[in-house]
Amino acid sequence: MAQQQSKRPLTSLQKAVNKEVLVRLKMDLEYKGKMTNVDPYMNVILVDATEFSGGNPSATYGKVVIRGNNVLFIKISSDFPM
Amino acid sequence: MAQQQSKRPLTSLQKAVNKEVLVRLKMDLEYKGKMTNVDPYMNVILVDATEFSGGNPSATYGKVVIRGNNVLFIKISSDFPM
Amino acid sequence: MAQQQSKRPLTSLQKAVNKEVLVRLKMDLEYKGKMTNVDPYMNVILVDATEFSGGNPSATYGKVVIRGNNVLFIKISSDFPM
Amino acid sequence: MAQQQSKRPLTSLQKAVNKEVLVRLKMDLEYKGKMTNVDPYMNVILVDATEFSGGNPSATYGKVVIRGNNVLFIKISSDFPM
Amino acid sequence: MAQQQSKRPLTSLQKAVNKEVLVRLKMDLEYKGKMTNVDPYMNVILVDATEFSGGNPSATYGKVVIRGNNVLFIKISSDFPM
Amino acid sequence: MAQQQSKRPLTSLQKAVNKEVLVRLKMDLEYKGKMTNVDPYMNVILVDATEFSGGNPSATYGKVVIRGNNVLFIKISSDFPM
Amino acid sequence: MAQQQSKRPLTSLQKAVNKEVLVRLKMDLEYKGKMTNVDPYMNVILVDATEFSGGNPSATYGKVVIRGNNVLFIKISSDFPM
């Protein structure tokens, strides 16, 4: 089981822990912040996060736990143009 | 199993029990109150909760059990600007 | 397993059995009545229930079994302003 | 497992087998008829059923098997004002 | 397990195999034809099927496999007024 | 388990592998092509596929893997009027 | 179990790892890029990806993890007209 898990994209996601990510939700909302935790369901904890609604910053969050089933994608890494 | 659970964001959420949180639902509703209980599905119990609809207070609840599948995110902690 | 279950908010919900509750559904419907039974999926039985649609009473039910997946939240207890 | 099942609202629903019920679906449809069978998913068989759409009778069914995931609630019993 | 299955409405549905049925989907579509196969998820095979959209015949199918999660209900049997 | 599987409509679907099929999705999209692979979730691989949107050809695909949960039905076989 | 997995379309998808693919989501969004990882839920990692909204390029991503449940289909291979 552990072996199968290690082949999954969601395991790769673990490598981005403690990095800046952009989490896009199904509804037109995005959250940019440091991802301190993520699980196989894409439940994510972001710290020092900014919420973007329709592309504009709409709120800030010291710490927020996003429920994975709302996630469309998570953008990782160096190139972070937004 | 218990070990795997302990790595999950939802376990981190347990640390916020008995603290003030803000629960945002998929539909445009938010609930602010003391989180006395939360489980891995993000089923949450809030006490002394205020409901916000479209950003405005719309109701109060002595005790309310929110079904996890409606949750978009849970905001935790010290910085609680709203 | 039983142990894990006992930590869940849905177990706490069991304590409200035979009390007056307000069940809000995802669609704009609410049901107020005595909760005689509830399970971990928030399947609920209400007796002597009143349905509210858009805040207005719209029907009464001697006994109704609500399917849990439609539930947004269940409001419990003493303070029952509505 | 059997023991846990027996506490569930859906088990209580079994007692209403062969009685008249009203099944409300998520979409604005209701079915009134004799419930000859029901399972824990609220899959239901109704015989001699009448369909109501927007409150008006719209069709009749000698025997119909309703898929449980569409069910909002099932109204049981003596008081059957509709 | 087999025993529990035999009590389910979906097992009763098996008795209607090779009979004419009407399958109503969540979206406003109906399929009338001979049901040659059905499983507990209400995945259904119809042969010589007619599709009705908004009540009017819109297509015919020699053989079609309908995915169960789209099904609202399956109407069985002798009385088949439509 | 294997035995139960063999009774399912989705197993019957296996017989249509390497034949021309029409896959209708929930959203108004259809894909016509040779089905080289299908599983119990109705995940499907089509080769030399044509996409129809609103009944009109809108794209072609050398090889496409359609996620099963989007499927409304799969039309099989000889009679392929469209 | 491993054997059953190997017959699934999603296993075939594994062969397209490190190739250019086009991922279409349920909402009108497409992502074109190199698929470095994919799992049975169609969770996908794309690198050097371009997002198309309504057919027009709308963003670029160095590395993005798309949650499988949003996927409509994945187009593979040589013929890549878009």
B82 within some domain: no
pLDDT, chain G, mean: 86
User: What is the pLDDT at residue D7?
Assistant: 59
Which has the closest alpha carbon to E38: E76, E20, E65? E65
Question: Chains with ≥3 Cβ pairs under 8 A against G?
Answer: A, F
Cβ distance A61 to A78 under 8 Å? Answer: no
Inspect the interface and report whether the beta carbons of G9 and F69 lie closer than 8 Å: no
pLDDT band at D1 (very low <50, low <70, confident <90, very high): very low
What does the pLDDT average to over B62-74? 96
Please give the full DSSP string across chain B, using - where no structure is assigned. -HHHHTTSHHHHHHTTTTEEEEEEESSSEEEEEEEEEE-TT--EEEEEEEEEETTEEEEEEEEEEE-GGGEEEEEESS----
Q: CB of F5 within 8 Å of any CB in chain G?
A: no
Predicted ipTM of the assembly: 0.87
Interval F7-57: pLDDT, tens? 578 778 988 999 999 999 999 899 999 999 999 999 999 999 999 998 999
The total number of residues shown for chain A amounts to 82
Identity of the residue in D43, D60, D63 whose CB atom sits nearest the CB atom of E8: D43
pLDDT band at G35 (very low <50, low <70, confident <90, very high): very high
User: What is the pLDDT at residue G33?
Assistant: 97
- Is B82 a residue whose pLDDT tops 80? no
Which tokens sit at B68?
Answer: 């996890």
Amino acid letter for position G5: Q
Give φ, ψ of C81 to 5 degrees.
Answer: -60, -35
Looking at per-residue pLDDT, the higher value among B60 and C77 belongs to B60
Kindly report the CATH number assigned to the domain that includes residue E61: 2.30.30.100
Interval B25-40: pLDDT, tens? 999 899 999 999 999 9
All residue ranges of chain E with pLDDT < 70 are 1-7, 78-82
- Is G6 a residue whose pLDDT tops 60? no
Interval D2-53: pLDDT, tens? 334 445 787 789 889 999 999 999 998 999 999 999 999 999 999 999 999 9
Interval C18-36: pLDDT, tens? 999 999 999 989 999 999 9
- Is C65 a residue whose pLDDT tops 60? yes
Inspect the interface and report whether the beta carbons of F64 and G76 lie closer than 8 Å: yes
A8 within some domain: yes
D81 within some domain: no
Which tokens sit at F49?
Answer: 């596929």
Inspect the interface and report whether the beta carbons of B79 and A64 lie closer than 8 Å: no
Identity of the residue in F37, F60, F67 whose CB atom sits nearest the CB atom of G72: F67
D18 within some domain: yes
| Structural domain span for residue A67 | 2-76
E81 within some domain: no
Domain count, chain C: 1
pTM of the predicted model, to two decimals? 0.88
Inspect the interface and report whether the beta carbons of E25 and F72 lie closer than 8 Å: yes
A41 within some domain: yes
pLDDT band at C7 (very low <50, low <70, confident <90, very high): low
pLDDT band at G7 (very low <50, low <70, confident <90, very high): low
Inspect the interface and report whether the beta carbons of B8 and A39 lie closer than 8 Å: yes
E56 within some domain: yes
Q: How many CB atoms lie within 10 A of CB A79?
A: 12
User: What is the pLDDT at residue D72?
Assistant: 97
- Is F67 a residue whose pLDDT tops 70? yes
Which has the closest alpha carbon to A23: A80, A78, A74? A74
Give φ, ψ of G71 to 5 degrees.
Answer: -80, 135
- Is G36 a residue whose pLDDT tops 80? yes
| Contacting residues of D for C29, CB less than 8 Å apart | 72
User: What is the pLDDT at residue B76?
Assistant: 92
pLDDT in tens, chain A (82 residues): 333 444 578 778 988 999 999 999 999 899 999 999 999 999 999 999 999 998 999 999 999 999 999 999 999 975 444 3
Cβ distance E44 to E59 under 8 Å? Answer: no
pLDDT band at G44 (very low <50, low <70, confident <90, very high): very high
F82 within some domain: no
